[in-house]
């Protein structure tokens, strides 16, 4: 079946521009996660949704980062006034059920954001 | 912070078993151990997870010590396509159930 799909695959933005990154989770998956991965590092957690509710945004690095999942399926990560330190791969993952179940996370291949 | 410790790199000959160790001495009783791998330019790929019993699937085997303070991921017949960064993760049992990644083990399979 179809996996987690992310678009665009690559994004180049000039410093100060706003960007929007899209995630299409596996159909019917309740939980959705966003991660940020800098070059040579492991992925770092940004935020978590259960259906349309954003239950954890503790990893968002600043108020320039905003995520939404209005209908409980597709999610968008928005970064306002991009800075060079925002350059990274942004990964989206989904899992079948909500908290307490040990269903594994399934990741997309990410969006590579380069801020010039 | 990640709750696991892994060697930064390992080598393995093609066709041989790759045994990747992981220490998780502070693991709690209800926390699962997960293994993922990441091949260059791809997202992390789920391999296997377990609580206290050994687990096996079509990709790998997971051996967890009786005290649960360490585990080993076994790839029984490594191929060149198994070259990747392997992450051992103790799943967070806080509000989110999120995975907290460390820096992983870079496994290089050579011919």
pLDDT digits (tens, 9 = 90+) for A57-82: 999 999 999 999 999 999 999 999 99
Q: How far apart are the first and last CA of chain B?
A: 36
Across the interface, of B34, B100, B103, the residue whose CB is closest to A45 is B100
Nearest to A104 by CA among B46, B73, B101, B4: B46
Residue count (chain B)? 111
Whether the CB-CB separation of B36 and B44 falls below 8 Å is answered with yes
Tell me what pLDDT residue B97 has.
Answer: 77
Q: Do B103 and A100 touch (CB under 8 A)?
A: no
d(CA A111, CA A73): 18
Q: What is the pLDDT of residues A79-111, one digit of tens each?
A: 999 999 999 999 999 999 876 678 899 999 999
Q: Is the pLDDT of residue A1 over 60?
A: no
Residues B88, B73 contacting (CB under 8 angstroms): yes
For the stretch B37-46, pLDDT in tens is 999 889 999 9
Predicted pLDDT of residue A79: 98
CA separation for the pair A94, A101 (Å, rounded): 13
Instruction: Identify the pLDDT of residue B2.
Output: 67
Q: Among candidates A47, A44, A43, A51, which has minimal Cα distance to A25?
A: A51
Q: How far is B42 from chain A (nearest CA, A)?
A: 5
A25 touches chain B (CB under 8 A): no
What is the share, in percent, of chain B residues with pLDDT greater than 70? 95
């Amino acid at each position: 079946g179809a996996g987690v799909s992310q678009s665009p695959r690559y994004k180049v933005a000039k410093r100060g521009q706003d960007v929007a990154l899209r995630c299409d989770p596996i159909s019917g998956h309740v939980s959705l996660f966003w991660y940020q991965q800098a070059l040579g590092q492991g992925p770092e957690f940004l935020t978590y949704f259960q259906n349309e509710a954003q239950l954890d945004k503790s990893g968002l690095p600043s108020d320039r980062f905003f995520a939404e999942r209005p209908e409980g399926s597709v999610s968008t990560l928005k970064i306002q006034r991009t800075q060079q330190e925002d350059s990274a791969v942004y990964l989206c993952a989904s899992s079948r059920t909500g908290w307490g179940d040990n269903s594994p996370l399934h990741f997309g291949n990410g969006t590579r954001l380069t801020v010039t | 912070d990640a709750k696991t410790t892994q060697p930064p790199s390992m080598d393995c000959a093609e066709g041989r078993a790759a045994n990747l160790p992981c220490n998780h001495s502070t693991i709690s009783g209800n926390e699962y151990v997960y293994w993922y791998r990441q091949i260059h330019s791809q997202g992390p790929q789920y391999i296997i997870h377990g609580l206290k019993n050994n687990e096996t699937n079509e990709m790998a085997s997971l051996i967890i010590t009786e005290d649960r303070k360490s585990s080993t991921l076994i790839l029984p017949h490594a191929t060149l396509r198994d070259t990747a960064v392997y992450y051992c993760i103790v799943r967070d049992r806080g509000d989110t159930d999120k995975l907290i990644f460390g820096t992983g083990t870079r496994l290089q399979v050579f011919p």
